[in-house]
Amino acid sequence: METVMHTATAKRVRSVRPVGTRAVLAELDGLQDVLALQDMLNKSPLQGQVDVLAAAETVMVVGESAAATRAIGTRLLELEITAPEVTDSGLVVIETVYDGDDLADVAELTGLSVDGVIAAHTGQIWTVAFAGFAPGFGYMVGENEALTVPRRSSPRTAVPAGSVALGGQYSAVYPRSSPGGWQLIGRTGARMWDLDRAQPALVRPGDRVHYKAVREVVTAGAHSAGNTSAGDSQAGDSDKERHTESGLRILNPGPQSLVQDLGRRGFGPLGVSAAGALDRASLRRANRLVGNALSAAAIESVNGGLTVEAIGDQVIAVAGAPTTLTIESPSWVDSEGSDDDGYVQPGSQRTVPMAAPFALLDGEVLTVGAPESGFRNYVAIRGGVDAPEVLGSRSADTMSGIGPAPLVVGQELPAGEDTASTAVGSPELQPDFPGLPGHGVTVLDVVPGPRADWFDQEALDSLCGQDWLVTPQSNRVGMRLDGTPLRRTREGELPSEGTMAGALQIPPAGLPVLFLADHPITGGYPVIGVVRDEHLDLAAQVPIGGRIRFRLVPDAPDFTTTFTKTPEN
């Protein structure tokens, strides 16, 4: 079982819980303590600290390694938390037209008149407690609870961008059109998320906000290229129109192909997950083979079907799921000599090996076949894919809509200059990959907690005692699993708290969701365990219809995070 050590009552941090091997969850006595600890960690980061994710009653701290995370957990228990200095600097004013669809319902729920709701909303200062749900979506808490209302029983499928809303004790502004279940009381023209700004989020954790009632919304400028999202088809259209002198042309993207690198770190407080390649080892391997920096951007494709044409002569390597790689040479290729002399014959077809560098000459077409095992492939081009960087990464984030759009037919990807050496790497051995549906079970190691205490031993035994089926509803956000549901032993819901890739979240129906790279940064369902970071690459290669078995590793010294503290008298 997980280890939870409690501090003395004089300390603000009540307890620290391990979140897998790379994060810890500090539990506090209230939102003011959350804000205070968040402020301290942002101003004076602990050694090895990578990210800080505040939530309703907790602060999750992500470490750069398992050893650093253990040290961070110990240090958190020793901190004397002091309240942050409150000033009027940085007060954000959000002009709001109060004509929301749920304004009258909120008046009825609170016992106020419509004017009373408006007065209560504008008559207090709101503090951004934490971010989540979407980039730029800040959970703001007020100075009183006069406007505490339940979320809608039936969420809307689409809430317009700029909607001002209430949910529970919080107020927020929807930064983009998205589903949502909060009560809508107004609208604003303020751009809550704008990648053209030095600070993309209009409000960040710790900021203070004043809503100002106005009669008319002043709309921000038109959508800019810097705000192109992964869900915006205009991104693909723009790339199609760009002429590329050296790179790859997409002839068939297959089921889904995305530009991915190793992701963006440190933007959790803005509501942005790391994203990046799901099988990081395969991306690194493909990049090594063509002489790139390990973090260079490449193409991530699923289940085969990707077809690309070389624009200019290129050096390519494909790693990940074993498959057949076929190259067709156009009939117009200038060829001299014969096959015995090592030249490419016009109109010929050949195969090339996985996990080895090869030349793809101008006009030649590479097709990635269906996997023989595994699920994802990584196609690296020497120099990397030169897609625009967003927050320091070229990765597409399907959850937040940040980064390049999914690849489309006719799109051209220019080759960059992200090389690490002049020599192309030698062929490499690949690991074993999960079998296709009906062929074997993939075993993943799981560290219990942070909310294993929401379940009894029977549920933990059931988690590890059955094979879980990967359903077609799975994606880069998370793998949805089917099997015998797990029963909670606690009633009610868990206040939102930080989460991470590898978390096994258990919704009320009892069927686990294994969070992957594009996961939301906060969640309100208990996490029974976290897949070991070293096994996430393996998890990413389990195909739809594949089966997973979990194995608890609570006693493994390399994976179990424990904290000790001598109680004070």
Distance CA 212, CA 93 (A): 7
Residue 346 pLDDT = 66
| 412 closest CA partner among 288, 299, 285, 277 | 299
**349-388 pLDDT per residue, tens:** 999 999 999 999 999 999 999 999 999 999 999 999 999 9
Cβ–Cβ under 8 Å, residues 506 and 496: no
The DSSP bridge partners found for residue 320 are: 377
Q: Which amino acid is at 333?
A: V
Amino acid at 108: E
pTM for the predicted model, two decimal places = 0.85
Residue 485 confidence (pLDDT) above 90 = yes
Closest-CA residue to 206 (of 45, 92, 82) = 92
Kindly report, residue by residue over 177-221, the tens digit of the pLDDT.
Answer: 888 889 999 999 999 999 888 889 999 888 899 999 999 887 655
What pLDDT band is residue 228 in, cutting at 50, 70 and 90? very low
pLDDT of residue 561: 39
pLDDT class for 152, splitting at 50, 70, 90? confident
Residue 338, number of CB atoms within 10 A of its CB: 9
Band (pLDDT 50/70/90 cuts) for residue 6 is very low
Specify the 3-state DSSP secondary structure of 231: coil
Q: How confident is the model over 407-432, as pLDDT tens digits? A: 999 999 999 999 998 878 777 889 99
Q: Taking 60 as the threshold, does the pLDDT of residue 63 lie above it?
A: yes
pLDDT surpassing 80 at residue 235: no
Q: Which residues pair with 300 in a beta bridge?
A: 258, 378
CB burial string 371-380: b at 16+ within 10 A, e below:
bebbbbbbbb
Q: Say if CB 212 and CB 119 are below 8 A apart.
A: no
Is the confidence at residue 562, as pLDDT, over 50? no
- Secondary structure percentages of the chain, helix, strand, coil, to 5: 15, 30, 55
Least confident of 125-129, 317-321, 340-344: 340-344
% of the chain with per-residue pLDDT over 70: 87
> Which segment, 155-159, 176-180, 458-462, is predicted with the most confidence on average?
458-462
- Minimal CA–CA distance to 61: which of 50, 71, 75? 50
pLDDT of res. 253: 98
DSSP β-ladder status, 170-173 and 478-482: unpaired
Q: Average of pLDDT values for 13-37?
A: 91
Report the pLDDT averaged over residues 381-408: 95
Instruction: Report the pLDDT averaged over residues 334-351.
Output: 61
Name the maximum alpha-carbon separation found in the chain. Answer: 88
Considering 27-41, 73-87, 227-241, 442-456, the range whose residues carry the highest mean pLDDT is: 442-456
- Where are the alpha helices (H) located in 140-254, listed in sequence order? 233-241
Burial of 132 (0-12, 13-18, 19+ CB in 10 A): buried
Answer for the pair 498, 521: CB distance below 8 angstroms, yes or no. yes
Q: Is the pLDDT of residue 224 over 80?
A: no
Ranking 340-344, 405-409, 457-461 by mean pLDDT, the lowest is 340-344
554: pLDDT strictly greater than 60: yes
Reported as a single tens digit per residue, the pLDDT across 501-527 is: 999 999 989 999 999 999 988 888 999
pLDDT band at 225 (very low <50, low <70, confident <90, very high): very low
Of the listed ranges 120-124, 210-214, 494-498, 531-535, the least confidently predicted one is 494-498
Cis bond leading into 450, ω under 30°? Answer: yes
Taking residues 35-51, report their average pLDDT: 91
pLDDT of residue 67: 92
Strands 527-531 and 503-505: antiparallel
pLDDT recorded at residue 82: 85
- Whether the pLDDT of residue 100 is over 90: the answer is yes
Most confident of 3-12, 211-220, 260-269, 373-382: 373-382
> What value does the CA radius of gyration of the chain take, rounded to a whole number of Å?
25
What pLDDT sits at residue 241? 52
The Cα 260–Cα 276 span in angstroms is 5
Q: Which residues contact 159 (CB under 8 A, 6 or more apart)?
A: 165, 174, 177, 178, 179, 180, 182, 184
Q: What is the mean pLDDT of residues 83-88?
A: 64
Average pLDDT along the chain: 87
Q: For residue 11, what pLDDT is reported?
A: 53
The C-alpha atoms of residue 560 and residue 488 are separated, in whole angstroms, by 23
pLDDT reported for residue 133: 80
Task: Give the model's pLDDT for residue 206.
Answer: 81
Stronger pLDDT, 168 or 394, i.e. the higher one:
394
- Tell me how crowded residue 555 is: count the other CB atoms within 10 A of its CB: 7
